[in-house]
Amino acid sequence: MTPYRSRLRAWAVAFLAAVALPAALLGPPTSASAANTLTMLGADVSSVQRSLDLGARYYDAAGTARDPLDILKGVGVNYVRLRVWNNPASGWNNKAKVLAYAKTVKAKGLKLMIDFHYSDTWADPGKQYKPAAWANHGIGQLQSDVYNYTSDVCTSLRNQGTTPDSVQIGNEINVGMLWNDGKVVNNDFTNLSLLLKAGYQATKACNGGTQVIIHTANADSMDHARWFYDGIRAKGVQWDLTALSYYCMWHGTLANLYNVITDVRTRYGKPVVLTETAYPFTAANADNEPNAINGTEPCAGHQASWTGQATEFSWVQDTARNAGAIGVFYWEPTWYAVPGNGWDPANINGTGNQWDNMAVFNWTGQVNPSIRWRP
């Protein structure tokens, strides 16, 4: 996920036309598979170290100040996702910070997912910038870069007793990563497959039990998902979990989500997890940075409110479960508006937070009393 307004504008044109609101109002699709269980109940809290460093406080539903991971664990979270950037200008979300926070995550009995962006900044469907150190590297060298970097981070985590339970090889790589060398052009998945294989091999060499995730934001369309995952499968890419991002304002109805999950789960024979979702709790804005989602056009019929947010998240979990998925992660639930924790790693002090109305904590750190992660 990247909290850029440009992302909303770009995707809105393509996806909102597919949204059929009346169908969404009927609630999450159900089937005979409703007895499935979500075992990965996750939260991407990549920004929380910086927030805490700046003095942010977090309060549970009773108003008691507590560690945010303890609060999230209390409402059902059992898995934490952390992004890692190679050499971000801010110094946050780099290897050293991830290693430090991984100790906190594991000490609380939570599982750990590492989300490799293979960039110094945000990577998403609209941009996959190479790290500056790899800028002039061709596909041959990039394979070594991906292998060595993945191995280094994973091995460092393992050696300190915080072996990752799962690893994403790239973030929302709808048309590839490490552009332009790893971009899919004219339906040619060759270069991307070489990079994904390098990441897979490095992870398994580090720890054979760590699950390798291939993540796209293709929950919008069965055709889009098939195009990508058919493409990498045809090139011999291996992976353990298929991951999708789902934001109703960009990816359409829950009925559509159900169909996409069901299709990729059966087509590729691998468990499916939604590694990103979120919903606004207000249409207001806490700072001078325009919000990525303004909250005035809620989808699925839910208002931008505590109740609306909790209901939409519940429906997403129900839909994923009923479609046979094994997990759902909320993206950046702890990233409320804390001055100095801006969205731009090149100007973290000078930019605001584009996600402050999408967190599950309000602007003074109180958790949404209705939010729950449910097996």
Q: Which residues are catalytic?
A: 172, 276
DSSP state of 26: T
Q: What are phi and psi of 74, to 5 degrees?
A: -65, -20
Residue among 192, 271, 276 at smallest CA distance from 1: 276
In which residue are the tokens 């009773």 written? 62
The answer to whether the beta carbons of residues 279 and 302 sit under 8 Å apart is yes
Q: How far apart (Å, rounded) are the C-alpha atoms in residues 345 and 132?
A: 14
Residue among 60, 94, 2, 5 at smallest CA distance from 334: 60
Residue 183 CB-density burial (10 A; 0-12 exposed, 13-18 middle, 19+ buried) = middle
3-state secondary structure (DSSP) of residue 105: helix
Residues in the chain: 375
3-state secondary structure (DSSP) of residue 356: coil
List C-alpha distances in Å: 78 to 84, 328, 358. Answer: 20, 11, 20
Residue among 225, 246, 229 at smallest CA distance from 238: 229
Peptide bond into 180 cis (omega under 30): yes
Question: What is the H or E stretch that residue 79 is in?
Answer: strand 79-84
The answer to whether the beta carbons of residues 154 and 167 sit under 8 Å apart is yes
DSSP one-letter string for 254-311: HHHHHHHHHHHHHHH-S-EEEEE----S-S--SSSSPPSS-SSS-STT--SSHHHHHH
List C-alpha distances in Å: 302 to 4, 31, 224, 253, 321. Answer: 23, 23, 27, 13, 20
